[in-house]
Amino acid sequence: MDFFVFRNNTVERFFPKGYRFSGYEDISRIPGDADCFVWFYQCPVECDSQSLSQKVTSYLDSLVFVLERIPREKTLIAFTLSNSFSVRIIENDFQGQKAISEYNQKLFELESGHPNLKVVDFSEFTSNYPVSDLIDWRFYFLSQMGLSPKLAGDFQTWWQKKLDSIALKRKKCIVLDLDNTLWGGVLGEDGVEGIKIGGDYPGKAFLFFQKALLELSKSGVILTICSKNNESDVLEAWDKNPFIVLKKNAFSAYRINWQDKATNIKELSGELNIGLDSMVFIDDNPTERELVKQMLPMVSVPDFPAQPYGLPAFYSRLVDQYFRVYSVTAEDRHKTEQYKANAARSQAQREFTDYESFLRSLDIHLSIEEANSFNIPRIAQMTQKTNQFNLTTKRYTDSDIAGFISAGWRIWCLSVSDRFGDNGITGTVLINGDEIDSLLLSCRILGKGIESAFVKSILSILKSEGIGIVKACYIPTAKNRMTEDFYERIGFECVSNTAERKDYRIDLQNTVFDIDDYYHIDFV
């Protein structure tokens, strides 16, 4: 991706190679070939509060000018202002402070009306350092560098996290121990009433941690349990201890037994149909953590605090390192219910010997809708996160999707529900002219033939519109091998097959698309 940075100071050292930069405070050129723009104006160094205020106001006017001229399908990432040099001669002179506050507030207001504007809080970075470390005055006067070059490495690490957050990249699942992790003490020894949760320290620290994890789950992070305990004891604790916040219904799945935790985590991964590399294992026991590190190196295993009072800082690091995301969708907020419903479907399937009868019993409804302003964020999120059933694994932002629509692409998304619940938007197809650019479905709806019904429905629409030939391709990755023959299975002809990709075509006018009648399909 080609980045172009608008700046008022020397900032080249703080960004990776390949970035391009404006002149100081130069907004005369907005290069059309840039994929993404960055507005990194730093707070001006002024001893006069009136001059500071006037400059900050002019920066805001310049930002608005640039924002209105950048195509809406291209992202502009804007930094807030953080004052690294403040000397107030008169105590009640807050003019400069007020201007900075108004500047930042205006950024947030602009973001709500411009989907392509993403605001990054620069004070989140600067607050990690003493004010004396933020500016190296030698470099400031020699080369107009408003941030100490010693911070360049830290800044690049932080910046990459911001880009991942904007791209909606994060881990999916937390695997939690129980004893001395979600509560103090050992349930089997201390009993339901003896474990430490709520009340005085250390119980209040564990209560804080449980409440924090509950909030994390509301943003779409899946919570699971992996604990060496008697399941009956834990169920009793969930039922009878009034101070436990994370009860049974907070978890999408659990393994409470005496089996080794690496095996249990692999089983949880299989039950939830998510990759091990999307899981984070949290356990107070260093031996258990080391076991998982050795046996499942793709699982992230952070160190747990030695004392309960370290839990708030641990939670902050946990979010920052693995789970921070720029925004969440409606589907994210219902992840726990959706994965629990999947477990219920798996249980129901075991009651049938005839798979077709099982599918009929599900009462599957497919709702197919063209891309619009409401579902674009979810479509972009799926391109960023979906790996297994993803034929090309191309990653797009919401600005990219909006740009494709403006360029005439046909884009649909798929919502799936059945008698166990609503999975929300779980599939999408992007078609550029006569070629399928991207086709992907969430792993949690696979295994029921939904993917074939969805694509056949889309091809039937194109056929009815008189389109003849449609092209597609499969680009192999380490995770999408399950899709390598998908197009053959629904009637496409393979016209080229190399190690790097397989290319396909299908003659719609000479193809009949049969869709099983137990799928109830609606076009919204």
Question: What's the average model confidence in pLDDT over 239-253?
Answer: 94
| pLDDT computed for residue 88 by the predictor | 64
Length of the chain: 524
46-52 long-range contacts, Cβ below 8 Å, gap at least 24?
A: 46/96, 47/87, 49/88, 49/93, 49/95, 49/96, 50/95, 52/95, 52/96, 52/99
The residues facing 24 across adjacent strands are: 7
Most confident region among 87-96, 198-207, 354-363 by mean pLDDT: 198-207
Backbone dihedral region for residue 322 (phi beyond 0: left; psi -120 to 50: alpha; all else: beta): alpha
Domains belonging to the chain, first-starting first, are: 3-166 (3.40.50.1110), 173-323 (3.40.50.1000), 362-523 (3.40.630.30)
Distances (CA, A) of 287 to 226, 315, 457: 14, 21, 52
SS3 state of residue 281: strand
Distance CA 427, CA 449 (A): 13
Distance CA 328, CA 168 (A): 8
Distance CA 391, CA 387 (A): 9
Greatest Cα pair distance in the chain? 82
Tokens 């339901």, residue located? 192
Tokens 């002809």, residue located? 493
Tokens of 28: 């005369």
Tokens 């899709």, residue located? 483
Distance CA 299, CA 322 (A): 12
H-run or E-run covering 52: helix 49-69
Tokens of 410: 């046909």
Reported as a single tens digit per residue, the pLDDT across 154-211 is 999 999 999 999 888 889 999 999 999 999 999 988 999 999 999 999 999 999 999 9
Q: Give the side-chain half-sphere CA count within 13 A for 174.
A: 29
Question: What's the average model confidence in pLDDT over 54-63?
Answer: 95
Reported as a single tens digit per residue, the pLDDT across 450-495 is 999 999 999 999 999 999 999 999 999 988 998 999 999 999 999 9
